[in-house]
Amino acid sequence: MKVRSASSPGKIILFGEHFVVYGKPAIVSAIDLRAKVKIQPTSEPQVKLSNGSTHNPAVKAAEYILQELKINLGLIIDIESTIPPSAGLGSSASISVASAAATSLLLLDRIDLDLVREAAFVGEKLVHFNPSGIDTSIALYGGSGLYTRAESLKPINISIDRLLVIDTGKTRKTGEMVKKVREFYEENKEKFKEILEEYDEILNSVLDSFKNRNLEDIGKLMLRNQELLREIGVSCEEIEKAIKTALDAGAYGAKLTGAGGGGCVVALIDEDRLEKAVSMISEKFKVYTPRLSAEGVREEKT
């Protein structure tokens, strides 16, 4: 058995993080920052990272596949990733998917998508409280789509190729943010219902705005979505500062992406203003300009 490798993309959520946990559709896109995972068999009986760690979603995902296939084998896992961790860009889901895919390649000589999806979800649970599955689905299939817990990912054309991703530099744990929203929900059920209704309106409008590529409207809707995220308590000073910086640099709109509490902000801007905005924003924050709708999981040369 030889070494096998796979890679998978990070993601941005354009609309609907947290609300997706409560059954609402969210709009998500794969980005061209990727995690690559290399898996090789070892004579030791354990599955672990090359640094010896076993507390990692990549390890849990690989172990799940070994268990499902009833194979007793030790594995060494190497991770190389360009996705900043704990920043809302789906790093752990991407690592889980790539690890599961490389394990599937090693043991079955193909990427079994159903098995990889289940394994990656198990990996995600290690770092996440009650995941909706959005991060693992987009890391698996790539592209852009509308994700719901009930129907998984349906591809849609979001008509945007690139946007600004601004890293606040503040890391946080997705699981803790999801728990925080759960507490808000338990204590404010009526208010939460109203927020979800307002989100429905935003979502319907944005699906129309994508059709005629109305960036100005999409930007305004991003700001409205951000207001709702603020109300449920997942924004913070650093996020608000990053949003203001993006708007000052000419963005149509901006909002947090992922779980919030820090992490990244996404901002929509005309492609011809992108370069200038990057130079302005990078005086204060680290900025990425990822291409959207990137390819899903794939085999890589080892």
Distance of closest approach, residue 63 Cβ to ligand MEV, in angstroms: 21
Cβ proximity to ligand MEV: between 13 and 39 the closer is 13
Cβ proximity to ligand MEV: between 112 and 135 the closer is 135
Marked catalytic residue, from 78, 112, 135, 167: 135
Cβ proximity to ligand MEV: between 20 and 243 the closer is 20
Report how far residue 40's alpha carbon sits from residue 4's, in angstroms, rounded to the nearest whole number: 7
H/E element holding 7?
Answer: strand 4-15
The Cα-based distances of 239 to 104, 187, 256, 270 in angstroms read: 38, 24, 7, 21
259 binds ligand MEV (CB under 6 A): yes
Verify whether residue 161 is a known catalytic residue: no
Cβ proximity to ligand MEV: between 21 and 119 the closer is 21
Q: Which residues, numbered 208-227, are part of the site for ligand MEV (CB under 6 A)? A: none
Distance of closest approach, residue 169 Cβ to ligand MEV, in angstroms: 18
Cβ proximity to ligand MEV: between 75 and 232 the closer is 232
4, 6, 17, 87: residue in contact with ligand MEV (rule CB under 6 A)? 17
The span of 17-25, 105-113, 195-203, 237-245 binding ligand MEV (CB under 6 A) equals 17-25
Residue 114: count of CB within 10 angstroms of its CB: 7
Distance of closest approach, residue 203 Cβ to ligand MEV, in angstroms: 14
List the Cα angle 6/16/222 in 5-degree steps.
110
H/E element holding 148?
Answer: strand 144-148
User: Per the structure block, which two tokens stand in for 244?
Assistant: 């203001």
The span of 13-21, 36-44, 204-212, 216-224 binding ligand MEV (CB under 6 A) equals 13-21
83, 98, 122, 178: residue in contact with ligand MEV (rule CB under 6 A)? 178
Distance of closest approach, residue 174 Cβ to ligand MEV, in angstroms: 5
For residue 298, the Cα-to-chain-centroid distance in whole angstroms is 17
21 binds ligand MEV (CB under 6 A): yes
Beta bridge partners of 80: 36
Of 147, 88, 89, nearest in space to 117 by CA = 147
Contacts of 28 (CB under 8 A, 6+ apart): 11, 12, 13, 14, 134, 137, 138, 144, 145, 147, 153
Helices (H), 188-288: 189-211, 215-231, 237-248, 274-281
61 binds ligand MEV (CB under 6 A): no
In this structure, are residues 169 and 284 in contact, taking their beta carbons and an 8 Å threshold?
no
Cβ proximity to ligand MEV: between 40 and 142 the closer is 142
Catalytic (active-site) positions? 135
The residues of the shown chain that bind ligand MEV, judged by CB under 6 A, are 13, 17-18, 20-21, 131-132, 134-135, 174, 178, 258-259
